[in-house]
Amino acid sequence: MKELALKYGCNPNQKPARIFMQEGELPIQVLNGRPGYINFLDALNSWQLVKELKEATGLPAAASFKHVSPAGAAVGLPLSDVLKKIYFVEGMELTPLATAYVRARGADRMSSYGDFVALSEECDACTARLISREVSDGVIAPGYSPEALEILKGKRKGSYNVIAIDPAYRPAPVEHKDVFGITFEQGRNEVKLDESLLTNLVTQQKEFPDEAKRDLLIALITLKYTQSNSVCFAKDGQAIGVGAGQQSRIHCTRLAGNKADLWHLRQHPKVLELPFKDGIKRPDRDNTIDVYLSDDDMDVLADGNWENYFTRRPEPLTREEKRAWLDQVTGVSLGSDAFFPFGDNIERAHRSGVSYIAQPGGSIRDDHVIETCDKYGIAMAFTGVRLFHH
């Protein structure tokens, strides 16, 4: 099949729409549903991400995409009891691929609502069951077990989008994009992201533990497929905060840092013990937890709305308690798709427990950025590789 007609493009008024190959056959097969223009953008970007994560780490990988940027990306490392609880998978069977999916979907559950999923290897029944219970638009993988495919075909009243991609497919080395009737051409970004990029440590602290190297690679590979400007916080084998598409680097860092903070705060004992009523659905729990953790929105629960969700009024988590909890956080890795122009990014990163940084370097203020890292004992590598993605 050389082309596939689509219902419409980014918006319903944008017709006609299709995907097609100039030469050869499409490397994808739609096994169920009718994916749209944005679905395919998410699917093809996310597939590249998980494919590279698997190659870089040797572990099964998964990603959760929304509007052509990842909400989460992860590899299949075992989950702690606390993570099982905040990801709503206590007592469930978890294969390595399923664990990667749970991590990717759980990093930023609000942003992942209605996502497109990518899996680095054949989808097994365990992973399919977990996907089937979440609000999602579709999934792309190199294959599906018969049981997994049947499970996914039953999702969304039979309309769930299931795409298989040929894992051996290699695109042409030059790619094209039309904007306003003008065709842009460039070589594909084939830069290989591996530990060799983490050797130029420019700070006084010059040690990256193996776990930090793994997490930094996860952050960098995630950034390679995130709309720029972008910054990614990673820990424990997964992205925990992605700041995408901001015009200012500090806003990227703040956005990603705030998401990382929420990931850590969701593990606070007061959040784990929130007295939810039976029958409250997971998306409603996610939204309520987000409100509970927001200094601006907590009054919404205090005004009596708590009765809609809880068996009793929850004890507030004060700003002082949040700060004390976050001040204990260390060992977070941070990647940036371009250089940090000012030390304020490092100051913000430090507040979210960042201990390790990988960024291209090359700012006229590199000395100030390095000095700020040294102030907090942060180890930083200059990769020399920019990862803009548009």
Instruction: Give the residue among 354, 356, 61, 361 at the shortest CA–CA distance from 221.
Output: 61
Q: Among all chains, which residue has been given the structure tokens 């102030």?
A: 375
For this structure, is 251 an active site residue?
A: no
Catalytic residue among 161, 229, 259, 268: 229
Catalytic residue among 67, 85, 251, 270: 67
How far, in Å, CA of 45 to CA of 40, rounded? 8
Q: How far is CA 283 from CA 114, 217, 288, in A?
A: 11, 30, 9
For this structure, is 277 an active site residue?
A: no
Catalytic residue among 13, 157, 281, 390: 390
Give Cβ neighbours of residue 69 (< 8 Å, ≥ 6 apart): 225, 226, 227, 230, 242, 244, 245
Structure tokens at 95: 């294969």
H or E segment at 258? helix 249-265
Q: Is 336 exposed, middle or buried (0-12, 13-18, 19+ CB in 10 A)?
A: buried
How far, in Å, CA of 159 to CA of 156, rounded? 5
How far, in Å, CA of 358 to CA of 339, rounded? 9
Residue 91 sits at φ, ψ, to 5 deg, of: 75, 5
- 119 contacts 141 by C-beta, under 8 angstroms: yes
For this structure, is 229 an active site residue?
A: yes
Instruction: Give the residue among 38, 361, 45, 16 at the shortest CA–CA distance from 200.
Output: 361
Backbone CA torsion sign across 102, 190, 58, 264: negative
- DSSP labels for 315-379? PP--HHHHHHHHTT---EEEEESS---STHHHHHHHHTTEEEEEE----TTHHHHHHHHHHHT-E
Neighbours of 269 (CB within 10 A): 10
Amino acid at 121: E
Catalytic residue among 54, 66, 84, 350: 66
Catalytic positions are 66-67, 229, 390
